[in-house]
Amino acid sequence: MAERKSAEKKTADNKKYPGQLVYGLDIGTRSLVGTVGYMFNKTFHVVAIESKPHETRAMQDGQIHNIAAVAESITEVTSRLQIKLGRPLHEVCIAAAGRVLRTITVHVEQELGDTRDVTNEDIYSLELLGAQRAYERFIKESTLNLKFYCVGYTVQKYYLDKYPMTDLLAHKGTEIGADVIATFLPDEVVDGLYKAVQMSGLHVADLTLEPIAAMEVAIPQSFRMLNLALVDVGAGTSDISITRDESIVAYGMIPSAGDELTEAVAKAFLTDFDQAEHIKYEASKGGNVTFTDIMGLERKTTAKEVEEIVKDTVKIMTRETSDQIKKLNGGKPVSAIFVVGGGGKMPGYTESLAEEMGIDPTRVAVRGEDVLKNIDFKDKSLPADSLLVTPIGICLNFFRQRNNFIFVSFNDVQYKLYDNNKLKVMDAAVQAGFANADLFPKRGAEIAYTINGEKRVVRGETGEGAQIKLNGDEASLNASIKAGDAIEVQPSTAGAPAHLTIEELPEFTESLKVVFNGSEVEIPKYAEVNGALQSGYYEVRDGDEIIMRNYVTVSQLLSFLDVKAEKDSDIMINHEPADSETKVYENFTVELLIDDTPHEEEEYDVPDEDADGSETETFDNDEAASENTSSDAASGDDAAQMDPGESAASDAVEQKAAEPVDNTAINVIVNDEDVTLTGKTGYVFVDVFDHIDFDLSKPHGKMVITKKNGMRAEYSERIKDGDRLEIYWEK
């Protein structure tokens, strides 16, 4: 039965109010103004409105000093509205004064790495970087011993490759940037407002800033392409907003407003503060005023007399306001100024502000009834003037962007966030002070080097992004969050550092073709790194200067071909005499007189005799593997016809029969196969031929190539356990 009555009442309310009812409350320094209305057909309809002055100075300069007293006033205003509506109110929208607002504007840039399309993730990352930089700068510059919260940030302008843009999504580029304005409020201000509302039995549905609320009504979006200023002259502060290029570009405040005018009136007419407020209010309407001073005498004054009394105070206020506007606007005047709030209605205020700003008096005007023409006041108990701009703006802001503070857990710590109904995991990360670099994948260290004078960079590999869990489930930085959510974030990781070897350079794959003794041979180019020659296995380091030579010397050519010249006179380049250091370029002809008689190799060391009479062979790194092979190999016509490399290999193999035997063994890898060498305590490359099937009886190519661990090796070069060896005929 009760549920049926509730449903019937809701249906009746919907018929009476076709849109959602919103309660907006302007908690000002001198008074409270509450409005209730709904949005329908793009028009805001005010169905109930109430105002109440503070009975004590519970509010000073826009900040609550007596929470209980303010809560009582909220309760009374709410009660009156409920009577008019015939229904209870549970939620309220409020605004914080600009006196405690702090703003920081920063410019941030972010490289995309390669030319590609801009994604939503890129834009979120950029905005987050801007908010974090603004917060870091704010903390560094702040001299206040207060805890501040970032209540929101706005992108004034985007940049693509340094060119201004209104939107970045899907555009192609290599670098993105943004101008970001971030706003901050101290925790005590927010808590004071929340506690006063809660003590009155209400819940905060939305919190905005007073200058933002006033802007909603006084300067619509269509006006914001112009360079305008909005000045909200309240009781304790004068809040300032600047528009330009279709956006709000700055917020500011001066700590002087209507109260200073009231105090000037009180001193001149010898009245208390409330009586002076009455005189100021009536004078702002342009009429005569009757009042009683503190002596109990009834007196009269005129609006003109009041204007003269506050003239000096107005001059000081407008000069400070003008200076602040110019400061926020880059040191120059704005095109026009709109004034709202009770203090701005004081006679002479707009004229003085125009004079201080240096603009035509017709371009400074009080915005009140003219900007409220699109508001449908079904309740006309209060005049539609500038005093209602902020209360109405608070309601409109609810529909534009619903804001509130919520609590979430971030890595087991509670944080309070300013909820704009679009909160993401990354917003919580900013509030928690989580480093931006730990949210997105990090690249490993890069290598910057030059090749033939050209600068190049090899980037490290991309690591893994932050591991995010929202209420225990995997999530992304863009996941929406709400009150009570538990967020866990593990920092992102860095990828492997960049790695590059000389042989991976495109230039290294280029080779020289030369004609050697009538046959065309192909020779890899040499790399000079920081003045020293390096092989293809050299790992490029950061800062290296590499020169890829387009020539080889004769000595390098002969070394590669594994042949020797007895003397320089045996060398001819392009049929001209040359020497070992002559440079050989592409398509050069090289002729070398080769002695058919192989040269005698150096001996193995004479084995030492151990104490027990056994012999142990030892080898020096540079010594040859055999002393008898050359003379044996020199006999016979077959040997004379073999390639020098082939001959050396055959000779080395033949001398193995005379070597002593020992039980020491090593394991090597030859042509990708495991081979075990036994019978000696030390081994050189040529020993491998005893343990593999490699045909040296006749040529199968130009020459035998031998490599150890990727590097060219001589037959006499020592080998050890685990070495990787290669033996093959070069075609």
Can you spell out the DSSP letters for 186-220?
EHHHHHHHHHHHHHTT-EEEEEEEHHHHHHHHHS-
Q: Give 218's pLDDT tier (boundaries 50, 70, 90).
A: confident
Using one digit for the tens of pLDDT, what is the confidence trace for 664-721? 789 999 999 999 988 888 888 888 888 888 877 667 777 788 898 888 888 778 898 8
Residue 169 pLDDT > 70: yes
Burial class (CB in 10 A: 0-12, 13-18, 19+), 699: middle
Amino acid residing at 514: V
- Residues 694, 661 share a domain: yes
- Residues 581, 651 share a domain: no
pTM above 0.85, yes or no: no
Nearest one of 432, 462, 429 to 445, comparing CA atoms: 462
Q: Give 609's pLDDT tier (boundaries 50, 70, 90).
A: very low
Q: Are 25 and 388 in contact (CB under 8 A)?
A: no
Q: Give 74's pLDDT tier (boundaries 50, 70, 90).
A: very high
β-pairing verdict for 683-684 and 673-679 = unpaired
- Confidence (pLDDT) at 401: 60
Residue 543 belongs to domain with CATH number: 3.10.20
Residue 7 pLDDT > 50: no
Q: Which of 539, 565, 592 is the last residue of a domain?
A: 592
106 falls within a domain: no
Distance (Å) of CA 280 to CA 259, 261, 302, 321, 381: 10, 8, 10, 20, 21
- Residues 509, 638 share a domain: no
489 falls within a domain: no
Q: Are 233 and 349 in contact (CB under 8 A)?
A: yes
Mean pLDDT of 571-600: 78
Percent of the chain with pLDDT over 70: 85
153 falls within a domain: no
The secondary element (H helix, E strand) that includes residue 77 is helix 67-85
- Residues 617, 567 share a domain: no
349 falls within a domain: yes
Mean pLDDT of 374-400: 85
495 falls within a domain: no
Residue numbers of the domain that contains 658: 608-730
- Residues 704, 570 share a domain: no
Q: Which of 28-37, 523-532, 643-652 has the lowest mean pLDDT?
A: 643-652
- Confidence (pLDDT) at 638: 42
- Residues 197, 319 share a domain: yes
Q: Which of 538, 568, 592 is the last residue of a domain?
A: 592
Distance (Å) of CA 265 to CA 31, 109, 285, 305, 501: 19, 53, 16, 10, 84
- Confidence (pLDDT) at 364: 94
Max mean pLDDT among 85-99, 389-403, 465-479 falls in: 465-479
- Residues 85, 38 share a domain: yes
- Residues 580, 634 share a domain: no
136 falls within a domain: no
Using one digit for the tens of pLDDT, what is the confidence trace for 428-442? 888 888 888 888 888
What values do phi and psi take at 350, rounded to 5? -65, -35
355 falls within a domain: yes
- Residues 653, 521 share a domain: no
Using one digit for the tens of pLDDT, what is the confidence trace for 312-340? 999 999 999 999 999 989 899 999 999 98
What values do phi and psi take at 666, rounded to 5? -130, 155
Mean pLDDT of 61-87: 89
Q: Which of 359, 379, 400 is the last residue of a domain?
A: 400
Mean pLDDT of 247-269: 86
Of residues 59 and 632, the one with the higher pLDDT is 59
Q: Give 568's pLDDT tier (boundaries 50, 70, 90).
A: confident
Residue 104 pLDDT > 90: no
- Which distant-in-sequence residues (6+ apart) come within 8 Å of 555 by Cβ? 580, 581
CA 241 from centroid of its chain's CA atoms: 28
Total domains, the chain: 3
Q: Give 594's pLDDT tier (boundaries 50, 70, 90).
A: low
- Confidence (pLDDT) at 372: 81
Q: Are 151 and 209 in contact (CB under 8 A)?
A: yes
Encoded tokens for 175: 């670098």
Using one digit for the tens of pLDDT, what is the confidence trace for 469-479? 998 899 988 89
- Confidence (pLDDT) at 167: 85
Q: For residue 250, what are the β-bridge partners?
A: 242
Q: Are 337 and 318 in contact (CB under 8 A)?
A: no
Q: Are 628 and 653 in contact (CB under 8 A)?
A: no
- Residues 269, 360 share a domain: yes
462 falls within a domain: no
- Residues 282, 236 share a domain: yes
Percent of the chain with pLDDT over 90: 27
Residue 698 belongs to domain with CATH number: 3.10.20.30
- Residues 88, 41 share a domain: yes
Of residues 605 and 728, the one with the higher pLDDT is 728
